[in-house]
Amino acid sequence: MTIDLKKLDKLAEVAIKVGLQLQDGQDLVMTAPMTAAPLVRRITEHAYKAGAGLVTTIYSDEEATLARYKHANDKSFDRAASWLYAGMAEAFKNNAARLAIAGDNPMMLAGQDPDKVSRAMRANSAAYKPALQLITGFDINWNIVSYPSPAWAKLMFPDDSEEVAVGKLADAIFKASRVDNDDPVGAWKAHNAELKKRWTWLNEKQFASLHYTGPGTDLTIGLADGHRWKGGASEAKNGITCNPNIPTEEVFTTPHRLRVEGHVSGTKPLSHNGALIRDMYARFEGGRLVEFKSSEGQDIFNKVLDTDEGARHLGEVALVPHSSPISASGLLFYNTLYDENAASHIAMGQCYADCFEGGKDLTPDQIYAQGGNRSLIHIDWMIGSDNIDIDGVHADGSREPVMRAGEWAN
């Protein structure tokens, strides 16, 4: 069982034509693990066929990354390649598109010193901030797709040979990315239309908050002033409509960082920086996460929450039906891009600036004043299941069902 190269080529085409809608003459900055070179080459080909100006790929290598943790001096872990991220930010300011290929071994940093991992990620987040702000602010068109690397595949299918495992993961990626049919571009058009129906309804309702109830969960999430729901295709500030995440099953918006109360239990494990964090539980007061527990990975996640003050506040709330294709697959991908699309979720940290009425014209200070959050991190974790009900609460306290038993109520 191997990777279907025709479907891999379709994925590359979808990345350019749906994910980015790359424009004639537009440059493209791409990042990828070295193992993803077959997909990088196909994306590059489709990019140039679409009229790309210049395609630049920055590769990462797992062995080189691990060599740092094994041999670098201690001071190395408080540093990051700020010059590289400054260059990426400069490219984005000049309207380059951004594409990331996910495929690294999710457990790559398992067994490494958690303090060094935390410090390195904090330094990297600070250095990446100028470029990340242009992405989260939707200044440019951007997209993430995935490649079935052997290490990732063996993590998901440990009892299979590497070849069989890679083939199974490839098929799962192709199905979730809607390239397992004759017209994937048309399939994405139909899917985006369905997501638009959902977020249009939510925008019409203008709920003040969402109330979640279920096993281990009684949580009220206030929504930011002037919030706007989005999902699927989104128009960036440069006027280009893109699908940032492939796959995607969510509609999402910005919560008010000071209006979250209650407790919530995670419904799926979170894979983060080489750790699998299980059985998550969080308690919020005044918008701040004041207590966090988990059966595994508790210390690691608490270190992440100490990144900055904004790390303990929410930056995103997203709704996903329990019957989504990724949930129906029954697979744990160990990759947030996929696992977040199997369940409704929340994200600690940085908000998306475009999830506001007139968001393209709001300054960071205005977004903050309306309840948007600021942080160096953005980490999604899953809180939805077929046991969770969600009500939309209006400003006058009246309620309407939004989800029942994990499915849309209307």
The amino acid present at 342, given as its one-letter code, is: A
| Interior/surface letters 108-140, b for 16+ CB within 10 angstroms, e for the rest | bbeebebebbbbbbbbbbbbbbbbbbbbbbbbb
User: pLDDT tens-digit profile of 319-329?
Assistant: 999 999 999 99
Whether 107 has a pLDDT exceeding 80, the answer reads yes
Distances (CA, A) of 64 to 24, 60, 61: 36, 8, 5
pLDDT, residue 389, reads: 98
- Where does CATH 3.40.1830.10 sit in the chain? 5-176
Distances (CA, A) of 205 to 131, 260, 395: 34, 20, 11
Q: How would residue 5 be classed by pLDDT, with cut points 50, 70 and 90? A: very high
pLDDT, residue 274, reads: 77
| Among 120, 126, 127, CA closest to 85 | 127
User: pLDDT tens-digit profile of 330-368?
Assistant: 999 999 889 999 999 999 999 988 899 988 789 999 999
Question: Percent helix, strand, coil in the chain (nearest 5)?
Answer: 40, 25, 35
Alpha helices in 206-311 (DSSP H): 298-305
Whether 111 has a pLDDT exceeding 90, the answer reads no
Residue 203 near residue 229, CB atoms below 8 Å: yes
Mean pLDDT of the residues in the chain: 95
| Among 178, 181, 349, 329, CA closest to 248 | 178
pLDDT, residue 371, reads: 97
Enter the tokens of residue 12.
């590359």
Kindly compute the dihedral angle of the four CA atoms of residues 176, 181, 182, 186, in this order, to the nearest 10 degrees.
Answer: -50
Residue 3 near residue 169, CB atoms below 8 Å: no
pLDDT, residue 135, reads: 92
Whether 2 has a pLDDT exceeding 90, the answer reads no
pLDDT, residue 1, reads: 63
Say which CATH topology domain 5-176 has: Thermophilic metalloprotease-like (3.40.1830)
Helices H / strands E in the chain, number of each: 12, 20
Whether 247 has a pLDDT exceeding 80, the answer reads yes
pLDDT, residue 353, reads: 83
Structure-token match 């691990």, residue found: 66
C-alpha span between 221 and 401 (Å, rounded) = 15
Q: How would residue 137 be classed by pLDDT, with cut points 50, 70 and 90? A: confident
